A and B are shown apart, each in its own frame.
Chain A
């Protein structure tokens, strides 16, 4: 009887806690080392129906996005959103298990900002494929997410992306609403709702230079624009420090050695994670306390039958106590936007990544993806450098 009780309490916990797929860590390491093909290979086979399937799909989608395998990336991200929509809000078995083991047994759904980012990055894929209608579908999904925040942080970057996608299909009224909402949340820049143009509100040298470029462009009736979505850094697993937007790194854009302008920070994923955790802090505290009480009750019950077995039960149950740190780690730390005048014949451009103090860190020549809709060129890049791939086993 005692053994049965012990097994009843411990075995399911061990079984559930023991489920993990180590390849995701390898994939992330390879991704940040620029070995995209290897990272993609690490996540070639995904366990269907796994509690972390959405996380795997989010990570693999990002890897494939970096590899410019847009169709495959779209499939992953769209599947992730479909799974999320199908999941019930509460699962009896998993919620019960999480009260005995830890929150890692729950199906990973991501924080609301991560769910919004799936559509934001999906929109980038469609922009790269010049599929403006599907990019606009992503925009509508972003808006639905951001209009139902329920206390979670708003995301200026996603708002801007939504506005931009709607602008590209000439839905200027709704685009202006999103541009206005994006500008509201950031202090360092102002966004013109009717055109989406970004201007710095800071009076530093770079901002002044940028304003000069804009003024020159206006004088020369240079109406061609490059809109570049830039990712810098890596979202930390443990994100506690406060991030100052004034201290954000940035990127300068050049075409044929001519300065076009710079990027401005629109979102910081560590900050979004912190704010989201703050929003859930009370619920999490209640849940953690309940779990500890339940574990203590189970241990006491077993202990009342057998001291040694009770001790082991307590040891095992409390050793399973660990925080749920699962998150979409291939997201950049800083998400920035540059909207700059550019030549009509733009084929490539140079991005110089700089620290907040203006020290150049690295530069990249971007020739792809650059898609074009009328007078607007669309592109995106990240401060990661793809390394030549070793032969990947088929």
Chain B
């Protein structure tokens, strides 16, 4: 009882500790979005898997939501399906640096060619909105906090600038917290 106890937890059964966005939400939202994208017409109607670039999900929240974790997971899941390819925008600087290094120092047969990078056709963006409501001042022993989240994801055709596909997910969670603690 008074000792430190460590144990593995099943990632599918992680409990919610509070009403805020947490790991379970990250997993659920990314899985749902990935499935929808993988089955959307702009991907399924293509003869070859199109190239996409992720420009991130804007956190319009009060909580410090790691939206990059969300897009990373979407990217991994979609890459596994083979229906879409991604440009590594996040590592572009390092990529250029490595190519520069290779151009200068690598042997002819192992050097990567410059100017052969593929351009993306689609851009994946989004926004996550958070709204919070708490109970007002009144005689009480606990306070209730209601959190509402809405995630919107868009795929924009970079050639036409048209939003080619869009979806949204939403969920709300309530938490009651005692005002008096030990």
Contact = CB atoms under 8 A, between A and B. Distances in A.
A92 B178 CA distance: 12
Contact of A92 (B60, B62, B177, B181): B181
A205 B12 CA distance: 67
B181 A87 contact: yes
Interface string B25-64: 0000000000000000000000000000000001111111
A91 B178 CA distance: 11
Contacts of A78: 64
A361 B137 CA distance: 48
Contact of A90 (B61, B67, B132, B179): B179
Given A87-B181, A89-B179, A89-B180, A140 B61 contact: yes
Contacts of A133: 58-59, 67
A284 interface: no
A92 B63 contact: no
Contacts of B61: 137, 140
A88 B58 contact: no
Contacts of A91: 180-182
A30 to B, nearest CB: 30
Nearest to B17: A86
Looking at chain B's contact residues, the main secondary structure is strand
Nearest to A107: B181
Interface string A150-172: 00000000000000000001000
Nearest to A91: B181
Given A78-B64, A134-B64, A90 B180 contact: yes
Nearest to A81: B64
A93 interface: yes
B173 to A, nearest CB: 16
Contacts of B67: 133
A92 B63 CA distance: 29
A88 B181 contact: yes
Contacts of B180: 88-92
Interface string B152-182: 0000000000000000000000000111111
Nearest to A150: B137
A88 B179 contact: yes
Nearest to A119: B62
A349 to B, nearest CB: 27
Q: Which of B59, B62, B63, B143 has the most CB of A within 10 A?
A: B62
A141 interface: yes
B20 to A, nearest CB: 10
A182 to B, nearest CB: 20
Given A90-B181, A91-B182, A92-B182, A141 B62 contact: yes
A90 B180 CA distance: 5
Q: Which of A78, A89, A90, A92 has the most CB of B within 10 A?
A: A89
Contacts of B181: 87-88, 90-92
B59 A137 contact: yes
Contacts of B59: 133-134, 136-137
A144 interface: yes
Interface string A200-228: 00000000000000000000000000000
B58 to A, nearest CB: 6
Interface in A123-157: 133-134, 136-137, 140-141, 144
Nearest to A122: B64
A137 B182 contact: no
A287 B7 CA distance: 45
Interface in A79-137: 87-93, 133-134, 136-137
A307 B59 CA distance: 66
Contacts of B179: 88-90
A87 B182 CA distance: 10
Contact of A137 (B63, B132, B143, B177): B63
Nearest to B59: A133
A169 B61 CA distance: 13
B178 to A, nearest CB: 6
B27 to A, nearest CB: 22
7 contacts: A78-B64, A88-B177, A88-B179, A93-B182, A137-B61, A137-B63, A144-B132
Interface of A: 78, 87-93, 133-134, 136-137, 140-141, 144, 169
Given A91-B180, A134-B59, 18 more contacts: A78-B64, A87-B181, A88-B177, A88-B179, A88-B181, A89-B180, A91-B182, A92-B180, A92-B182, A93-B182, A133-B59, A133-B67, A136-B60, A137-B62, A140-B61, A141-B62, A144-B62, A169-B58
Closest 4 CB pairs of A and B: A88-B181, A89-B179, A140-B62, A90-B180
